[in-house]
C-alpha cells in the first residue's frame, strides 16, 4: 500500500462522463489498497470562461488591478470540479471528501494570479485518508495570511499536486493529462516526435521552462527540490486498464542519470512563441547598469529570460533581453518612463515577434560541438540567430517567430530525434 497523488487536467475533467471515468480510475487505485489524494483542474475551458466574463466587465484596465477578485472568481472552477469528482466517487461507492485550498489549508503568499505555495497543513487530509476516504484537494488555489483566496498562475494545478505530494511524502505523483507523456518535441509541430520513457528532472525543467506545455514549470521546480517522483501519463486509456501496466506507462521524470540517458546527447527540442525582445540602446557602460535595468523590471514582477550585453564602444553599450510577450508593453513603458531618464540611455527598442528554440539534453555536459551543430543546421535553413544563450544542458536561440516551426523540425531531424532516428529511449 502506498500513498499516491493523482492530478487530472481540465480535459480529463471536461464533462460529467469524463469525471465519471476519473472516479472509476481513482476507485480502481484505491481498491488496489492505495491511499489516494486527487488534485483536479477546473473542467476544460472553465477558467478561460470565468476570466473572459471579468474581461467583459473591465476590458480596458490591466487585469492586475482586479487581482484579488480574479482569484476569487477563477478558484471557483476547481471548487466545482473537485466537488463533482467527490460526488462521482461516492456514487461509485467510494467514500470521498473534497476540500478547497483554504480548507486544507494550502498557504500561499499574496501575489494574486501568480501566488506561490508556502506551506500545506496535512492534518486534515491524513485523518481522512486514515479513515479510508479518497481525498480531493482543489488544484490551482490557496489562501494567503489575511484569508484571501489566491491562485497559482495558469496551469497551476500541476504545482498544487506536486506540493500536496511533497507535504504528504507521497510515493509518486501521477499527472494524468491529454497527452501520453513527454515527447522529444511537440508532435503538432513535428509529427515524427517520439515519447520519452524517462526524462531527467533537469531536462524536464528546461523543457517546461522553454515552453513544452506538458507541466507547469513551478511544479517541476517543486518536484526537483523535494525529489517527488513524477510521472506524466494519459487519462484517455480505458479506466480499467491493468493497474501495474498503468503505473509504468507515460514518462517518468527521474533524478538519477541512468545508463540509458548516457546515450543521447540531445533529448528534446523545446520552443516558446512567448518570447519578446527588448533592447536598451546607448547605455553608459559603468558598474550597476544591469542592476538598474533588470532590477526595475524584476521589481515590477516581470520575469526576464535571455540577457545580452554588447561590448562597449565610446563608453556606451547596448543591453538586450527577452520577456514574456504578455509583459512586453508593460516592460517597454516601464523602461521609457522610469529607467531611461535615470540612466541617460538613448533609446528603447523592441520586437514582440520573436521566439526561442532550444536543444536540451544532459548529455551535452560531456560533449563538445553540439551548439555548433545547431548553428550549422539553422544556417543551412537560412535562419538568422538574434540571441544565443547556453547552460550546461541546453543551447537556446532567439529567432524571428516566422521561422520557429522550420527551426524545430530541422533540429529534431539533425539530432536524430525523428522516429526513424536512433536517439535514446525510443518507443517502438
Ligand atoms: N484551471 C487552471 C487553468 O486553467 C489551473 C489548471 O488547470 O492547472 O490555468
Ligand atoms: Mg495543465
Cα 427 from chain centroid? 24
Average pLDDT over residues 255-263: 58
Output the pTM of the full model: 0.82
Question: Count of CB atoms within 10 A of residue 143's CB?
Answer: 22
- Name the residue ranges covered by the structural domains of the chain: 3-259, 268-427
In sequence order, the β-bridge partners of residue 285 are: none
The pLDDT-based confidence of 217 (bands split at 50, 70, 90) is confident
Q: What is the pLDDT of residues 141-190, one digit of tens each?
A: 999 999 999 999 999 999 999 999 999 999 999 999 988 899 999 888 99
Contacts of 350 (CB under 8 A, 6+ apart): 276, 277, 278, 279, 328, 332
CA of 154 to the centre of ligand 2 (A): 8
Nearest atom in ligand 1 to 41's CA? 7
Ligand 1 neighbours (beta carbon < 6 A): 10, 41-42, 47, 77, 139-140, 154-157
The fold of the 3-259 domain, in CATH, is Carbamate kinase (3.40.1160)
**Best residue among 52, 80, 81, 140 to mutate for probing ligand 1, ranked by most atoms within 8 Å of CB:** 140
- Residues within 5 Å of ion ligand 2, judged at the Cβ atom: 9, 155
Cα Rg of the chain (Å, integer): 23
Average pLDDT over residues 368-384: 95
- Least Cα distance to 305 among 266, 280, 278 occurs for 278
Q: What is the pLDDT of residues 23-56, one digit of tens each?
A: 999 999 999 999 999 999 999 999 999 999 998 9
Domain 268-427 = CATH 3.10.28.10: no
Amino acid at each position: 500500500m502506498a500513498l499516491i497523488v493523482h492530478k487530472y487536467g481540465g480535459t480529463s475533467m471536461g464533462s460529467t462522463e469524463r469525471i465519471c471515468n476519473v472516479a472509476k480510475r481513482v476507485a480502481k487505485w484505491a481498491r488496489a489498497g492505495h491511499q489516494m489524494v486527487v488534485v483536479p483542474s477546473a473542467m476544460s475551458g472553465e477558467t478561460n470562461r470565468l476570466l473572459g466574463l471579468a474581461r467583459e466587465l473591465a476590458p480596458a484596465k490591466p487585469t492586475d488591478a482586479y487581482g484579488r477578485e480574479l482569484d476569487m472568481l477563477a478558484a471557483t472552477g476547481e471548487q466545482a470540479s473537485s466537488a463533482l469528482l467527490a460526488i462521482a466517487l461516492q456514487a461509485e461507492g467510494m467514500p470521498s471528501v473534497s476540500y478547497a485550498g483554504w480548507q486544507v489549508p494550502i498557504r500561499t503568499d499574496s501575489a494574486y494570479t501568480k501566488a506561490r505555495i508556502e506551506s500545506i497543513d496535512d492534518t486534515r487530509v491524513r485523518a481522512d485518508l486514515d479513515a479510508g476516504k479518497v481525498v480531493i484537494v482543489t488544484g490551482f488555489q490557496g489562501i494567503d495570511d489575511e484569508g484571501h483566496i489566491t491562485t497559482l498562475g495558469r496551469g497551476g494545478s500541476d504545482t498544487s499536486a506536486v506540493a500536496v505530494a511533497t507535504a504528504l511524502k507521497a510515493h509518486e505523483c501521477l499527472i494524468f493529462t491529454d497527452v501520453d507523456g513527454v515527447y522529444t518535441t511537440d508532435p503538432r509541430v513535428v509529427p515524427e516526435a517520439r515519447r520519452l520513457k524517462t526524462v531527467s528532472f533537469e531536462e524536464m525543467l528546461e523543457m517546461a521552462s522553454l515552453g513544452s506545455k506538458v507541466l507547469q514549470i513551478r511544479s517541476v521546480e517543486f518536484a526537483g527540490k523535494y525529489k517527488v517522483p513524477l510521472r506524466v501519463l494519459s487519462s484517455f486509456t480505458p479506466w480499467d486498464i491493468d493497474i501495474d501496466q498503468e503505473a509504468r506507462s507515460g514518462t517518468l521524470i527521474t533524478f538519477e542519470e541512468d545508463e540509458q540517458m548516457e546515450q543521447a546527447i540531445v533529448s528534446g527540442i523545446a520552443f516558446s512563441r512567448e518570447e519578446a525582445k527588448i533592447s536598451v540602446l546607448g547605455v553608459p557602460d559603468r558598474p550597476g547598469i544591469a542592476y538598474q535595468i533588470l532590477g526595475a523590471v524584476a521589481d515590477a514582477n516581470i520575469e526576464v529570460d535571455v540577457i545580452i550585453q554588447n561590448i562597449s564602444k565610446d563608453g556606451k553599450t547596448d543591453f538586450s533581453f527577452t520577456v514574456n510577450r504578455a509583459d512586453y508593453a508593460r516592460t517597454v513603458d516601464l523602461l521609457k518612463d522610469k529607467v531611461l531618464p535615470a540612466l541617460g540611455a538613448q533609446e528603447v527598442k523592441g520586437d514582440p515577434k520573436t521566439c526561442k528554440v532550444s536543444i536540451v539534453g544532459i548529455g551535452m555536459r560531456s560533449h563538445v560541438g553540439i551548439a555548433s551543430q545547431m548553428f550549422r543546421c539553422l544556417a543551412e535553413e537560412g535562419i538568422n540567430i538574434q540571441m544565443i544563450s547556453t547552460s550546461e544542458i541546453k543551447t537556446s536561440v532567439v529567432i524571428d517567430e516566422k521561422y520557429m516551426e522550420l527551426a524545430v523540425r530541422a533540429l529534431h531531424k539533425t539530432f536524430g530525434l525523428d522516429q526513424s532516428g536512433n536517439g535514446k529511449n525510443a518507443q517502438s
